[in-house]
Chain A
Amino acid sequence: MRRGLRYLAVLLALSAGAQAYYHFVHFVSRQGPFTPIPEKFDLSALLNKTVFFTISETGPAALAAGDSKEAVVSQLRLAAKAWNDVPTSELRLAFGGFTQPGAFQSSPLVEIVFDEVPPGLVALGGITSRGTMTSGPGGAFVPIQRSTVILRRDLTDRPSWSEALFLTMVHEMGHALGLQHTLTSSVMSTEITRAMTKAAPLGPDDAAGLSLLYPKPDYLSSTGSIAGRVGIAGEPVNMASVVALSPEGSAISTLTNPDGTFLLQGLPPGSYYLYAHPLPPQLSVESFPANITPPSDLEGRPIPATLSFETLFYPGVKDPAAATIFPVGKGTAIDGVNFDVRRRAAPAIYAVQTYSYPGNAAVKPAHLNTYGGRNYFIAAGYGLITGPGVTPGLQMSVIGGSAVIAPGSIRPYPSDTRYITADFNLAPFPGEGAKHLLFFADNDMYVLPGGFRIVNRTPPAITSITPETDSSGAPVLRIAGTGLTADTRILFDGAVATVRGFQPATGLVVSPPAALPGHKAVVVALNKDGQSSLFLQANQPPSVQLDSTDAPVFTVTPNQLTAGTEAMVEVQGVGTAFQEGQVALALGSADVSVRRLWVTSPNRIVANVVVAANALPSASMVTVVNGLRSTGLPDGLSVVPGARPTVRGAVIEAGSGRTDVVPGSVAAARLSGLSSAGALTVTLNGLPVQSPALNDNLLTFTVPSGTPTGPAPLKVRVNGEELPAIAVSVDLPPPTVAAIYSGGTRIDLNRPARPGEVITVAVGGAGELGPEASPSRFRVCVNDQPLTVLQAGLLGDGSYGVQVQLDPALPVGTYMLTVAVDSRVSPVQSLPVK
C-alpha cells in the first residue's frame, strides 16, 4: 500500500489541476490533497482515439411489433454518434461489430449486451473493468478497460424508434464513457432536470463533461473557468453542485471536492450567474443521493456528500437580479468565488419537470412557440403541491427576461392536481432555445436549468412519403409535411438519410438507406430547434417499406492479417448497394480496427485496418453495416501471430501533412519493423513511383501524375521483404473560394455582406459534380459554424455557385469563410459583414 501511495504521490505531482465535473472520481486519501483522479479511457492507447462499442450478437430476444434487430442496432449507432459529434472532445466511438458477451479483448471497449433483467428495469450501464492508475497530459487518471451497457432482452414494450429507448441508450453510453449524473437538464441528468430530445440529445453540460475528460488540445484555452469554495460556517461542503448559468440558456456544472473547493471548467465565452445547490435527498434503498457515486479514497471507501443546505446565487443572494454576473472569455480563469451557505434539513423543492402539449402527447421539457399555439405548460415536482393546492407562498419566475409569469397565475392543473400550471407572457423577441426557471417556497429556492424551451415554429410532421427516382434513375423518397426545413434530418429507424434536395412547397427528397428485404422503417423528422415529428406523431409515426435487393454477400481480401501490422482490405460484394456516409465496417474485435474507409462503388469498400500488436490469434465475424442492413461474414478475418514490417499510420502529403495526397506531390509513409534497409521497390496503383527514398524508416515518393482519385494500393518491398499493402488516399487539390456574390454584386470591403443576406459562394476546383450538384456535397462555414446550403449549381466559368443565407443576428465584423467539397476544405476566405 505504501508503495502505491508513493506512486500516487508522483502521479499527482505530475498532474495538472484536474476538474471534478460529475465524473467517477478518486482521491489519494480522505485528508487530501483533493486533486480529482477521474476514471476515463486512455486515448493514448487507442487507435485514432477511438473506443469501439460492440453489440452482443445474440441481440434482443423479443421486439415490439414491426421492430427489428437492425432497427435497434441503428438506434445504438445513432446514440453513439451523439457522443461522437461533440466537437471539443477527442474521444470517438465506432461500431466494433457483434461479439459474444464477455468475450476477451485486449483493447478497451464498450460492450452492449441484452440480458435478462427483471420487470421494471429497462437498462443500466457503467464501468466494469479498470486498469492501474496512470498519468497523462491532463493529470493522473484511472484507465477504463471495459464498460458495459445492459439493455433488457425483451423489448416488446420499447419500440426502437421511441425517444424513450434512444435517450436511454445515449444516457447509458455516457456512463460507459465516464460520466455520472448531472442536475442541469442534460442527457446525463437525473430525471429531475433532464430536458433533452431525440433531435437535440446532448446539452452543454454533457459536451463539457465529455470534453473535460477527453479535451481537444485547444479546449481549455478556448473556454474559461471559475474556481472557489463552498462552505457552511467555514466547514467545507463535499459534493455541492455548482452551476454556471448563462442567461442565454446554457448551464454547466461541477461538484465540490471534500475540502469544498471547486473548479468549473469548459465555460464557453459569455456571461454567467453562479449558484450552489445541494444534491437532492437520498432515498430509501438507493445507494447515494441523486445516485451519484461519491468520490472514494484509496481504499475505495466513499467520501459522502455533505448534508443539505440552502441554494444561493453568488454572492449569497436568492435574487438573480442581485447576483454577480461573471464575464468569461477564452482562457479566462476567475478564482476566489466562495459561497457561504446555510444548513437546511432538506430542499423545499426539487425534482421539477415541465411539459407542454403541442398535440395530444406531452412533450418534456415544455416548448413554447412564439408563433402561438397551445402556449402553456404544466410542472410537477416535489414541493410544488401541498395537500389539495399549490404550496403556500410558491413563486415562480424566468431567468433572463424571455418571459414573465403573470402574478397570481400559479394554480393546480385542472385535470390533475398533482401538477401546477401558470400563465406565461413571452417577451418581444425572446430568442430561441433553453430558458431557466426559478422557484421559491419556504425561504428556499430551486433553479431548473433549461426548464423550458422557446421555439419559433411548430414541430415538424410528416404527411406523406412518396417513392420517386432521381435524374440518374436511382430511387429516392419525397418526404412531405409541415414544419420541414432544409436543415431537417430524416431518420429511417436510426439511419440518417442523405438529403438530396428541399423545396418548401414539396418537402425533402432523400436517398433511403439500404435495408434487408421487407424491412419497414419508421420515419422521423428532426429539426435543429430540438423538435421532432414525434412531438405530434408519437403514437403512430409514419413508416415505409424500403426497396431492397436480396440479402447481399461479400468477401474480404486478404482475410488474414498479422498482429501488429496495418493493411488494406477490400470488401467486394454482390447486391450490397453501399452508400457513401452510410457504411461502417466492423471487425468483431477491439483489437482490429479501421483507420479509414472508402466506398468506391455500390459493391466495393476499401479500408485500412490496424491490428493491435498484442492481438491474440483469432478469427472474427466481419460485419458491414450499410444503412439499416447489417451483413455478417463469420470468421471473415483472422489474426495470426508473427513479426512483419508494416506501414505505420496514414500516408500523408509531405508538404502539407494532409492525409489526402495530390498527384504530382511528394508523399510520406512511416515504416516499422524493418530488419534492414536495402533494395527498395514501391508501386502505387500498380505503377512504379518516381524517386522513392527510405531514410530513418520514413518512405517518401512522388505520386504519379494521372493517378486516379480514390484509395490507391501502395506496395512496398524492402530488401526482398514485402510489406502488407496499404491504401493511399489520392484526391484533387482543395477547392478554392473564387469570389462571393450577393445577387450579381461581388462581396468585398466596399460592399460587405449584410446579416441575413443570401450569398453565393463561387467555388473553384470542386471537381466534376454535374450541372446540378447535390447541396449535400458542399459545406459552407462562417467562423466554423456551418450554414445551410440552399442550392448549388455549375456556373459558366466551371466553378460551382453555392448559395447560403447568413445568420440574421450575425454581428458586424470580418469572418472566416470556408467551403468543403465532400472532405476537401478550402483555404479561409475573408467575409466582411456590416
Chain B
Amino acid sequence: MPRPLTPAILVLAGALSAGPGRAATLERLSMDEMIQQSTEIVRGRVMTLGVSTKGSVLYTLARVEVLERWKGPSGRTVEIWIPGGRSGNLRQTFSGAPTLAVGGEYVLFLWAGSSGNRQVIGFSQGAFDVKLDAKGSPQMQRAASSEAMLDERGQQVEDVPVRMSLAELRKRLKSALGLAGGAE
C-alpha cells in the first residue's frame, strides 16, 4: 500500500495538468473568495441584452434591474459585460461564458477593474440561477462547472455544485461583510 498522501500534498495536484478544458480556463473561487473579491453582489432580473465591442471582441451587455444588493455602490440597475455576442452578421462565441436570459433572475457576483466595466466573477462561477424550492422559498443554485478549474496556484481542482437559500446567503454575506442588513 503506498504512502497515503495528505490533503496538503493533494493540493499540489495538477501543477502539470492544470491546463485548459474549455474555450475559457477558470480558476476556482470559493464562496468566501467570491464575496471578498467581487466589487458588487446583487440579486437582479435581466431587463435587456445589448452588444458592444472592445478591440476585436464583441461583448454582450446585460442590463440588470437590481432587486437586492449586498455589496457595492447603490444603483437601481447594473450593466454587465459578457464576452461574445452578435452584431449584425458578426457573431462571436466564447464557450463557457455565462448565459443570461432576458427576464431571468440571478444572484450575480460582479467585478469591475480599472476600466469600470462590470463582469461576472469567474465566468459562470459568479452567476447563480434563482429558483423556488419545493417550499416556495427562493434559492440560488449553480451546478458544478465542467470548465477547467484551477486553484490559486494554477493547479487543477474540481468544482462543486452550489445550492443555497437566499436566506442562508444573506446570513453568510452579513457575516463576511459585516452588513447590518442593507438590502436595496
Enumerate chain A interface residues (CB-CB to B < 8 A): 101-102, 111, 113, 115-130, 146, 148, 150, 157-159, 162-168, 170-172, 175, 180-181, 187, 189-192, 194-198, 280, 283-288, 290-293, 300, 351, 353, 355, 357, 360-365, 374, 376, 380, 413-416, 418, 532, 534-535, 538-539
Within 8 A of A (CB), among B67-97: 83-84, 86, 90-97
Chain B residue nearest in CB terms to A175: B23
Interchain CB contact under 8 A, A380 and B146: no
Interface size on B, residues (CB 8 A): 80
Judging by beta carbons under 8 Å apart, are B117 and A187 in contact?
Answer: no
A365 and B13 CA atoms in complex are apart in Å by 11
Q: With A118-B111, A121-B122, A192-B21 as given contacts, are A164 and B150 in contact (CB-CB < 8 Å)?
A: yes
Q: Which has the most chain A C-beta neighbours within 10 Å: B9, B13, B91, B114?
A: B13
Interchain CB contact (< 8 A) of A194 among B7, B21, B117: B21
Residue-wise, chain B 26-45 has the 8 Å CB interface mask toward A (1 for contact) of 11110001100100000000
With A122-B150, A165-B154, A171-B20 as given contacts, are A293 and B5 in contact (CB-CB < 8 Å)? no
Alpha-carbon distance A359/B163, docked complex (angstroms)? 37
5 smallest A-B Cβ distances: which pairs? A120-B122, A167-B19, A191-B21, A364-B17, A171-B20
Chain A residues contacting B3 (CB-CB under 8 Å) are 374
The digit string for B112-143, where 1 denotes a CB below 8 A from any CB of A, is 01110101111111111100000000000111
- A197 close to B16 (CB less than 8 A): yes
What separation, in Å, do the CA atoms of A158 and B20 have in the docked complex? 13
Q: Which residue of B lies closest to A283 (CB)?
A: B143
Contact A290 B24 (CB under 8 A): no
Please determine whether A198 and B148 come into contact, CB atoms closer than 8 angstroms: no
Chain B nearest Cβ from A367, distance in angstroms: 10
Q: Closest CB-CB distance, A616 to chain B, in whole Å? A: 17
B57 at interface, CB cutoff 8 A: yes
Give the Cβ gap from A394 to chain B, nearest Cβ, in Å. 18
Measured between alpha carbons, how far is A416 from B54 in the docked complex, in Å? Answer: 44
The reply to whether A280 and B19 contact each other, CB–CB distance below 8 Å, is no
Contacts of A283 in B (CB 8 A): 124, 143-146
**Neighbouring A residues of B29 by C-beta, 8 Å:** 119-120
Query: In the bound complex, do residue A284 and residue B93 qualify as a contact, i.e. CB atoms below 8 Å apart?
Result: no
Contact assessment for B17 and A163 in the assembled complex, using a CB-CB cutoff below 8 Å:
yes
Q: Does B56 contact A538, Cβ atoms closer than 8 Å?
A: no
Q: Given A124-B97, A172-B20, 7 other A-B contacts at CB below 8 A?
A: A126-B95, A163-B16, A195-B17, A196-B19, A351-B146, A414-B4, A535-B16
Given A150-B57, A360-B12, A539-B12 in contact, is the A167-B143 Cβ separation under 8 Å?
A: no
Determine if A285 and B127 form an interchain contact, defined as CB atoms under 8 angstroms apart.
Answer: yes
Which listed residue (B20, B56, B146) contacts A192, Cβ 8 A?
B146
Question: Inside 8 A of B24's CB, which chain A residues have their CB?
Answer: 121-124
Shortest C-beta distance, B158 to chain A (Å), equals 6
Q: Taking CB as reference atom, which chain A residue is nearest B145? A: A283
26 A–B contact pairs at CB < 8 A? A115-B54, A118-B111, A118-B121, A118-B123, A120-B27, A120-B28, A121-B25, A162-B18, A164-B18, A164-B154, A167-B19, A171-B19, A187-B20, A190-B21, A190-B146, A280-B146, A284-B142, A285-B129, A285-B142, A286-B146, A300-B86, A357-B5, A362-B14, A365-B17, A376-B2, A534-B16
Q: A283-B144, A291-B22 are in contact. Are A127 and B57 (CB under 8 A)?
A: no
Nearest chain B CB to A368's CB is how many angstroms away? 12
A374 / chain B contacts, CB cutoff of 8 Å: 2-3
Is B56 in contact with A148, judged by CB distance below 8 angstroms?
yes
Instruction: State A115–B173 Cα separation when bound (angstroms).
Output: 30
Which chain B residue lies CB-closest to A419?
B10
CB-contact partner of A415 in B4, B57, B148, B154, under 8 A:
B4
B56's partner among A102, A121, A293 (CB-CB below 8 A) is: A102
Contact A163 B15 (CB under 8 A): yes
**Interchain CB contact under 8 A, A364 and B156:** yes
CB distance from A45 to the nearest CB of B (A): 18
Partner of B17, one of A126, A159, A363: A363
User: In the complex the two chains form, is A126's CB within 8 Å of B92's CB?
Assistant: yes
Cα(A158)–Cα(B26), bound, Å: 12
Residue of A nearest to B36 (CB): A119
Given contacts A120-B26, A291-B146, A362-B15, contact A129 B90 (CB under 8 A): yes
* B4 cross-chain contacts in A, Cβ below 8 A: 413-415
Alpha-carbon distance A158/B111, docked complex (angstroms): 20
Please give the distance in Å from B108's CB to the nearest CB on chain A. 10
* Contact call A128/B142, Cβ cutoff below 8 A: no
Which residues of A lie under 8 Å from residue B158 when comparing CB positions? 380, 418
Interchain CB contact under 8 A, B10 and A121: no
Q: Once the chains bind, are B152 and A157 in contact (CB under 8 Å)?
A: yes
A130 to B127: give the CA distance in the assembly, Å: 30
- Interface membership of B6, Cβ < 8 A: yes
B100, closest chain A residue (CB): A285
Q: Is B55 an interface residue (CB 8 A)?
A: yes
Instruction: Give the chain B neighbours of A351 by CB distance below 8 A.
Output: 146
Residues from chain B with a CB closer than 8 A to the CB of A288 are 95
Bound CA span A326–B138, Å = 54
Cβ-defined partner of B122 (8 Å) among A113, A119, A167, A539: A119
> Whose C-beta in chain A lies nearest to the C-beta of B116?
A116
Compute how far the CA of A102 lies from the CA of B56 in the bound complex, rounded to whole angstroms: 5
Given contacts A101-B55, A190-B148, contact A167 B20 (CB under 8 A): yes
Minimum Cβ distance to chain A for residue B49 (Å): 14
A411 CB, nearest partner CB in chain B, Å: 10
Note all chain A residues with C-beta closer than 8 A to B111. Answer: 118-119
Q: Are B21 and A284 in contact (CB under 8 A)?
A: no
Q: B residues within 8 A CB of A172?
A: 20, 23, 25
Name the CB-closest residue of A to B39. A118
Q: Which of B91, B100, B114 contacts A116 (CB 8 A)?
A: B114
Contact indicator A362/B99 (Cβ below 8 Å): no
Residue of B nearest to A196 (CB): B19
Report Cα–Cα, A162/B23, bound state, in Å.
Answer: 19
